[in-house]
Amino acid sequence: MTRSTGLTSTATYETLDISVVDPGVAVLTLNRPGKLNAINLKMMMELREALRALDEDRAAKVIVLRGAGRAFCAGADLDWSAELGVEGRVESNRLGQKTFNAMEQMETPIIAAVHGYCLGGGLEFALAADFILCSANAQLGLPEITLSADPPVRPKITEDGDPDQPEFGGQAPGWGGPKRLPQRVGKARAMQMILTGERVPADRALRIGLANEVYADEEFEDRVMEMATRIAHMNRYNLRLNKELLHAGYDMLEPHPR
């Protein structure tokens, strides 16, 4: 459910928790801890609605994304995939792409606060944020290719078959990973991560540019909020302007008229 203290929106959600902390830090928590916050259709639709509302809410100057329980997000819920036919899987990819593309274009700065597992669609979700901060226990990766691999690489969760593997053709990360990961770590490292499906620990994620900072587990939440609070102290218009300049790749040559 949503705690909307300080927010204009009073919407409630089944899979998300949203709160605001002075001076304007909105914390959006994926709240399916029993499923390691795996993204199902309900969560995806609620993310679309919640992110759009937060971007329009003047009380939210910066957004922190986090996961409840022991993981940030383990990826797409395979139970959702198993329910889909061929057309449904294509549409689920498009839905995720549209959601994360819209998130990437938001004016409000977004921080992904990653602890525990951040895999598959979970990493693609984090990559659509402006930057990633990690707890020391974080593991990040795009393991989709391993789901239909030969033993012993194939994980136990798909030992009876991968619901996303088509009879003909192939599968790959479908929510923007092949586009955004190379932008963070370079093409060659992204190629290695995707072709091996490896899990990258937090310290290596920092070295290769996937994470901006890594904090000890016991101080992780405090340090994330410390950075978010510093950002929230900035002028809201200046935050949005500077984010736009960085995304667009141009300089502001003249100040805006009064």
Active-site residue numbers?
124, 144
Cα-Cα-Cα-Cα dihedral of 173, 93, 156, 158, to 10°?
-120
Instruction: For strands 62-67 and 25-30, give the pairing.
Output: parallel
- Encoding tokens for residue 200? 């990258």
Spatial distance between the Cα atoms of 258 and 256, rounded to a whole number of angstroms: 7
Strand partners, 112: 65, 132
Q: Where are the alpha helices (DSSP H) in the chain?
A: 41-56, 78-83, 86-104, 121-127, 177-185, 187-196, 202-207, 220-232, 236-248
Angle between helices 41-56 and 86-104 (to 10 degrees): 20
